[in-house]
């Protein structure tokens, strides 16, 4: 017996590293002090830029959106999803990304598939101006089904302590701005897949007239990064809080940033719900409350600001005011 006969192909692993080395290097900044292949990634923090730098980190995955990628044979978009999701998670605290690391686990390593996934990550890292510093590629035969893989992302960013956005200054009367999403992002896919593939019996390449595109195109729309939109506003100090609308929807994510003694009112008619959500709700006969707690419903980021800044920041973000903060305990009321 040998290792390859047991299902692990070291040569395929080396070929994967060869393919992705250039992709990762394309994201490197002058702060990166190591190369792909080192045991640890080295990054120099330019501390002179900050009076009191605070590192902010997060880790996340893409969930069962991966199954749609498997069916469609499209792998680059999920790599971008992973990076953008992680970027948004630290952005809500005012941090800008420094570097990103990934985990790619599979049963049988396909260098071409791994390259496609990492290409998406590298593109998103360049767009978000952060370095793809390193990662782990694990080939585990018997653990994943053939043709399947899982990915996870780990991000580190920085913010000056005086510019941390914590939500503690939120008070009744503040307004909520709902920044549009680009689709389902990376949440709600277990329900979406059940409606589309189990109930409607559609294929990934089925064209849906109501959506003007195929099922695969609609469900694989990349997760939007809010960094380019929000970054110019961070220095103003006018943003009191931000909630990244992920699993749990507005219902569960907005209360995470509300201090004790405050609650949120959200007017559901204040924004236009994208067609994909209306189509899923109608065909799955999903209750409105479940839709709001499963999907982002077209709002991927909620920004909280004082009422006197509401109209100005609403225009700057290209997003409507969708509600306000009222006295109460953290929670969301829809009207």
Instruction: Decide if 3 is inside a domain.
Output: no
Could you tell me if 275 and 204 lie in one domain?
yes
What rounded mean pLDDT belongs to the chain? 94
Specify the pTM. 0.94
Could you tell me if 202 and 253 lie in one domain?
yes
Could you tell me if 139 and 247 lie in one domain?
no
With b for 16 or more beta-carbon neighbours within 10 A and e for fewer, the 119-129 pattern comes to bbbbbbbbbbe
Domain final residue pick, 121, 136, 163? 163
Could you tell me if 189 and 313 lie in one domain?
yes
3, 102, 197, 251, 333 from 267: Cα distances, Å: 59, 38, 32, 13, 9
Instruction: Decide if 170 is inside a domain.
Output: no
Q: From CA 262, how far away is CA 191, in angstroms rounded?
A: 31
Specify the residue for token string 């018997």: 142
Number of domains in the chain: 2
- Whether the CB-CB separation of 101 and 137 falls below 8 Å is answered with no
Of 96, 107, 104, 78, the closest CA to residue 20 belongs to 104
The residue-averaged pLDDT of 83-97 equals 98
Of 192, 103, 108, 102, the closest CA to residue 142 belongs to 108
Could you tell me if 298 and 182 lie in one domain?
yes
Task: State whether residue 129 is helix, strand or coil.
Answer: coil
Task: State whether residue 53 is helix, strand or coil.
Answer: strand
Domain final residue pick, 163, 186, 206? 163
CATH code of residue 327: 3.90.650.10
332-334/262-266 β-pairing = parallel
pLDDT digits (tens, 9 = 90+) for 98-115: 999 999 999 999 999 999
Angle (CA) 215-298-197 rounded to 5° is 25
The helix (run of H) or strand (run of E) holding residue 280 is helix 275-284
- 35-43's contacts with Cβ under 8 Å and 24+ in sequence apart are 36/134, 38/134, 40/134, 41/99, 41/101, 41/133, 41/134, 43/98, 43/99, 43/131, 43/133, 43/156
| Two tokens, residue 3 | 């290792």
Task: Identify the band that residue 6 occupies on the pLDDT scale cut at 50, 70 and 90.
Answer: low
Could you tell me if 154 and 215 lie in one domain?
no
CATH code of residue 99: 3.30.1330.10
The residue-averaged pLDDT of 269-273 equals 96
Q: From CA 236, how far away is CA 232, in angstroms rounded?
A: 8
Could you tell me if 199 and 150 lie in one domain?
no
pLDDT at 13: 78
Domain final residue pick, 134, 163, 192? 163
Residue 131 above 80 pLDDT? yes
Q: From CA 22, how far away is CA 96, in angstroms rounded?
A: 24
The residue-averaged pLDDT of 215-228 equals 97
Instruction: Decide if 147 is inside a domain.
Output: yes
Could you tell me if 207 and 318 lie in one domain?
yes
pLDDT at 330: 93
Could you tell me if 239 and 317 lie in one domain?
yes
Residue 2 above 80 pLDDT? no
Which residue segment(s) compose the domain that 184 sits in?
175-334
pLDDT at 3: 67
Instruction: Decide if 4 is inside a domain.
Output: no
Instruction: Decide if 168 is inside a domain.
Output: no
Q: From CA 164, how far away is CA 137, in angstroms rounded?
A: 34
Could you tell me if 321 and 197 lie in one domain?
yes
């Amino acid at each position: 017996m040998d290792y390859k006969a047991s299902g692990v192909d070291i040569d395929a692993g080396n070929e994967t590293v060869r393919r992705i080395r250039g992709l990762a290097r394309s994201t490197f900044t002058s702060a990166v002090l190591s190369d792909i292949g080192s045991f640890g990634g080295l990054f120099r923090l330019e501390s002179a830029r900050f009076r009191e730098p605070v590192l902010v980190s997060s880790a996340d995955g893409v969930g069962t959106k991966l199954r749609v990628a498997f069916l469609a044979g499209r792998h680059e978009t999920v790599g971008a999803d992973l990076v953008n999701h992680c970027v948004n998670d630290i952005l809500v605290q005012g941090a800008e990304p420094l570097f990103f690391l990934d985990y790619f686990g599979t049963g049988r390593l396909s260098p071409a598939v791994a390259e496609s996934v990492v290409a998406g990550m590298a593109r998103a890292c360049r767009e978000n101006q952060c370095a793809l510093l390193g990662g782990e590629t694990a080939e585990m035969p018997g653990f994943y089904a053939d043709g399947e893989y899982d990915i996870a992302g780990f991000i580190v960013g920085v913010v000056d302590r005086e510019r941390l956005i914590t939500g503690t200054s939120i008070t009744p009367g503040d307004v909520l701005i709902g920044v549009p999403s680009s689709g389902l992002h990376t949440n709600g896919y277990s329900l979406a897949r059940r409606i589309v593939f189990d109930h409607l019996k559609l294929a990934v390449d089925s064209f849906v007239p109501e959506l003007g595109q195929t099922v695969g195109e609609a469900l694989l729309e990349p997760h939007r990064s809010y960094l380019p939109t929000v970054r110019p506003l961070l220095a103003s100090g006018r943003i009191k809080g931000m909630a990244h609308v992920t699993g749990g929807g507005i219902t569960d994510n907005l209360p995470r940033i509300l201090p004790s003694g405050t609650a949120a009112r959200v007017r559901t008619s204040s924004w236009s719900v994208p067609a994909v959500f209306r189509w899923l709700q109608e065909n799955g006969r999903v209750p409105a409350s479940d839709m709001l707690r499963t999907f982002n419903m077209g709002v991927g980021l909620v920004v909280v600001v004082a009422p006197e800044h509401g109209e100005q920041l609403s225009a700057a973000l290209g997003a409507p005011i969708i509600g306000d903060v009222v006295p109460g305990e953290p929670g969301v009321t829809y009207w």
